[in-house]
Amino acid sequence: MASETIRNPILPGFHPDPCVLRVGGVYYIATSTFEWWPGVRIHASTDLVHWRHCAYAVTRRSQVDMRGVPCSGGIWAPALSHDGERFHLVYSNVYHFARPHKDVENFLITAENIEGPWSDPVRLNGVGFDPSLFHDSDGRKYLLQQLWDPRPGKNHFAGITLQEYDPEARGLVGERKLIFHGTQLGCTEGPHLYRINGWYYLVTAEGGTSWNHAVTVARSHAPVGPYEVCPHNPVLTAHGFPDSPLRKTGHGSLVQTDDGAWWMAHLCARPLEGNFCVLGRETALQPVEWTDDGWPRIPAQGPVPSLRWSVHGRPAPDTADTSPANPAWAGFSDQLAKGPLGPEWNTQREPADDSWLGWARGRGLVLRGRQSLSCRYRQSLVACRLRHFRARVAVQMEFDPQNFMHSAGLAFFYNTEGYLYLRLSRGDDGTARWQIIQCRQTEVTYLLESEIDAASSPVWIQGGMRDGRAQFHQSADGIEWSPVGGGIDARFLSDEGALVYGFTGCYIALAAEDLSGGGRPAVFRDFTYTPDPA
């Protein structure tokens, strides 16, 4: 093994709500993708240290319709499982979640191989979110999920339900039973059920998916309960430990290695000054040991998460290697010379199609301008995750705007309600000029006091992010750079800066707009993402 040190987060940048699974000698983690397309990102590893992207599970419109879903709506908390023959994945599609209502549908898809093809979905129900599927040793299957109660005066997080799933009938059967009301932490969600040494262990997320987040455990001798609560709860949390480098820790799932050891995958976040988590919620691993009376716990530090562990479950020394376990995460480049888009690239709410995205031979990726970056329906935008607090991206763009309705460029993009956008447009005097658009909680501001003349097309554009502060540059040759505007506080591009709720993370986007509806094209090529040294 090249390295025996697990360095958290193992999936940096926006990778929340992990569900971990081992099939044979391979570990898989599925994470939430919300309104980003394709849906449900899956990583694989053979050693818990080195992780690689291996699949997206939701890749067709027939599997999900996210057009118009709210920011941080869409696909929540996918749960990956295997019954010895096929992979199963259940997920929520959330259409609306401003209280008191949560309008949601839950679906099941299956595949023989993790890479797919994944089936069209079975619609399960809409009674709550965060579904998971448990395969019992007797062959029966049960759907668990959070129950949402919108009525006034009620606990909206009403508890965890269980109902049998019949694969032959392709639907739920029997009575839905409320098996767990949760603990005093509240906001009970994210259930996973495991059968271990004759017990059924129910692992849930509680405390809300922010600073009070936690993992709690209960157990029973039967799937339907009654469940007794772990006396050591919460099993994992950073609440009350403000010096913890990993915060918001919760939404855990368990996996056993082939040598019998146990690990917990969980979400976490790393805040900048002011408690802004620009990188979003990430995925980490902690070892699990079992007490003499059969309860799980995190060793060494109680419930507090750690940055480094040996693969044997022992704390790694401070001198442990800090280089990325996956070399690709040190940065990447994409010539954008031909399709299809690589797995690092995502779109908003719908798949890319040739009506707005294409490839010009010898020139690069073509985006035909559509509606604004604030639109939830028809954006011409492709984006990759920001994975480092200090990074810069550069790309060459060929674009000839004819008027103020045409624009294209580079954006630090959290969602349609929050972004920083360096765009090339054309003024009324016929001059091509740069603009910097800030959209903060839907309020749009033009940050440049006077528009700056652009270099002749094609032009190189660069965006740098350093500890939550953004800076744009332009260049005629990609070597000599000149700033466009000054540094901008970009910490609002985070869950904490969202208008209502935010559950995702900051992306770097290539975008084109044509508000006239004419589809004015912009061509992008030679994209690079480079982490800056600390």
Say how far apart CA 455 and CA 461 lie, in whole Å. Answer: 10
Whether cis (ω within 30° of 0) applies to the bond prior to 150 is no
Whether cis (ω within 30° of 0) applies to the bond prior to 531 is no
**Of 254, 315, 248, 245, the residue nearest 288 (C-alpha):** 254
Q: In the block, which residue shows the tokens 């990956």? A: 80
Q: In the block, which residue shows the tokens 């010096």? A: 243
Most distant CA pair in the chain, distance? 78
**Of 346, 319, 322, the residue nearest 506 (C-alpha):** 346
What secondary structure does DSSP assign to 62-89, as a single string? Answer: TT---TTPPTT-EEEEEEEEE-SS-EEE
Which residues are marked as active site?
Answer: 17, 189
Number of DSSP helices (H) and strands (E) in the chain, helices first: 0, 40
Strand partners, 26: 23
Residues shown for the chain: 534
Q: In the block, which residue shows the tokens 């332009």? A: 474
Say how far apart CA 533 and CA 515 lie, in whole Å. Answer: 39
HSE toward the beta carbon, residue 23, CA cutoff 13 A: 15
Strand partners, 56: 41
Say how far apart CA 114 and CA 44 lie, in whole Å. Answer: 9
Say how far apart CA 45 and CA 283 lie, in whole Å. Answer: 14
Strand partners, 445: 438
Say how far apart CA 139 and CA 158 lie, in whole Å. Answer: 28
Say how far apart CA 483 and CA 480 lie, in whole Å. Answer: 10
Strand partners, 261: none
Distances (CA, A) of 53 to 31, 216, 225, 232, 331: 11, 29, 37, 35, 15
Residue 177 CB burial class (10 angstroms; 0-12, 13-18, ≥19): middle
**Of 236, 224, 225, the residue nearest 267 (C-alpha):** 236
